[in-house]
Amino acid sequence: MLTPVIYPDKALSTPAQIVTTFDDNLHNFATALGQMMHDMHLVGVAANMVGNLQQIIVLNGKFLNLEQETVYMVNPVVTVIGTNKHRAIEASPSLPFIETPIERPAHIFMKYQTLTGESQEGEYLDDVAHVIQHEMDYVAGQTFLDRIPKAKARLLKEKMFKLIRTGGPKIKPHVHGAHCNH
């Protein structure tokens, strides 16, 4: 089973390579990546997040209300970016325990290939466009921390490393009720 690498693993800051061979190895890896995404209840994942430097992103169609349950995009390229913005909270299993709001274009056009090498084009809006761009940052060797001011990124990394050292956030026991947000 695949598992995410944790920041500052070099795979997260290294641009992925273009996929040139569309074979069973690619299909098996991408399928395993998609399975990890579903098992972890993620909305998307990029190959870099498991230390594999191939230009592959996978989207969770169930969470994103897409026609397919799992969408595989190989060698994705955004070709047109709209001017309207979409703001969402971003997080990652490769950056555990932290999240932050990020603003991205709300409308994109892109080209990519399927797992068999077939060329595809698509237009994506709002949440789907946001998730695609988040995953494409990994393909480019970046994370959402590269999209915020350096001082804020430093504080979030310090928080993450502290929580990793101490075993994660401690949740105090309490009576569940209308005031809960979980």
CATH number for position 84: 3.90.45.10
Residue 98 maps to a domain: yes
Q: Which comes out higher in pLDDT, residue 75 or 176?
A: 75
Euclidean distance between CA atoms 60 and 64, whole angstroms: 6
* 180 located within any domain: no
Q: Which residues contact 140 (CB under 8 A, 6 or more apart)?
A: 15, 16
Residue 57 in contact with residue 44, Cβ under 8 Å? yes
Selecting among 90, 123, 135, 158, the annotated active-site residue is 135
Domain limits for position 42: 10-166
Please state the domain count of the chain. Answer: 1
Q: Does the annotation mark 135 as catalytic? A: yes
pLDDT of 27 strictly over 90:
yes
- d(C-alpha 86, C-alpha 69), whole Å: 23
pTM for the model: 0.91
Q: Is 177 part of any domain?
A: no
Cα separation values, 67 from 71, 146, 155, Å: 9, 31, 39
> Does the residue 4 lie in any domain?
no
Q: Is residue 148 part of a domain?
A: yes
User: Quick one: average pLDDT of 2-30?
Assistant: 98
Query: Is the separation of the CB atoms in 29 and 49 below 8 Å?
Result: no
Q: What is the pLDDT of residue 175?
A: 53
